[in-house]
Structure 1
Amino acid sequence: MKISIGILPTKSNADVILHPVKYKNSITYEPSAEEAVIALMVKYFIYDELNDELKEYFNELDIGYLYSESNFDEFDLEMIEKKLEKDNEIIIGRDVLLHPKKENILKLANLLRKKFKVNEFVNNTNLDEIEDIEEFNGSVVYLDECENDDILISNQFKIANKINNDKISVNSKNKNVILDDNLKGVFGVICEKTDKYPFERVKIN
């Protein structure tokens, strides 16, 4: 079974998709929360296999804070656990590789190798402190690597941003509005290249 983390759901063929953008049956978490999500996965799936020093690190984590602020909790972990097979793979995607805490996330991903195949990791167990999760309030879009002038939106995004036309301006750039019933939640998706974490607050007119 394949689990993807940090890959836009419309571009992932994994059996379980973890991403802030909710599409069909994907499992969501808050933007920038990848560090917390992977730490929670280690705590849930790998804890018993860790040495005493690493167990102490996870014992000191504020799990309640990570659950609440990441919007990823034990219910989600149980859903993943129920789908696990004999051989399971975690595919770390673009969002993680653009994350400010990439190095520590990949150290955490390395621990997941005790139970999963993992495509991206750093073989180092000197873990850093997990930082507070950045908040993304207001109008927020995901910057996809594609080439068109569309903005893909959900009905929730349409209502939240009071969109009544088939064309809008996003940061002064004209976009064609595409309403997708499979897309849920309050994040739009636009085509724009970036070398930074691909969620961005925008101004919509």
Structure 2
Amino acid sequence: MKVVAFKRELQGSGASRRLRNSGQTPGIVYGGTEAPVTIALDHNALYHALKKEAFHSSILDLEIDGQVQQVLLRDFQVHAYKQLVLHADFQRVDPNAKVHMKVALHFVNADVSPAVKLHGANISHVLNEIEVSCLPKDLPEFITVDLANVDVGHSVHIADLTLPAGVTAVTHGSNLTVATASVPAGHVAAEAAAAAPAAEEKPAAKGKK
């Protein structure tokens, strides 16, 4: 994905405000062996790019005054109630150094899992993203969580995920829960009520003479 930016010389809140009023967003590029560079980006292009999931977890080609460098989006700020991007931070990427990034989780096959098909359970997504470590070339846009074999009372943890080659999860020593399957309380109560009359109809066992 490509992002076009321009160097900006003027800094400070007044300069940033004037920049936003002209339809641009202030930003910064840092990292690597070069000094940080303050930049300006087209606001509308950036605003729409931020709506794309891949923009947040992909290596971006940032073009500044005709020169392209690879970066990652590291942070951005938006206005509290206006559709306005206030600032964006990008980090330069070294192709030979591993990066740590948060990557979105995509959940699939919940509808064919035993939990849902056999027991009418709900599968709750506890995490929507995880942090991974890998070389820039191996960075995935998302990670798939296959729920096909999940049954009631079972959980999926980070250690259960199938990660792409060259990608490892950053767990900080904790095997966090990704998803859980549980039967709704109302469904359990309904099943219990339906089973009760059947139990009452069974004849009582005869005592010994």
Please state which band the TM-score falls in when normalised by the shorter chain: under 0.3
**What is the TM-score normalised by the length of structure 2?**
0.21
Relative contact order, higher structure (CA 8 A, sep 6+): 1
Q: Which has the larger radius of gyration?
A: 2
Higher normalized strand content (fraction of residues): 2
**What is the TM-score normalised by the length of structure 1?**
0.22
Higher normalized helix content (fraction of residues): 1
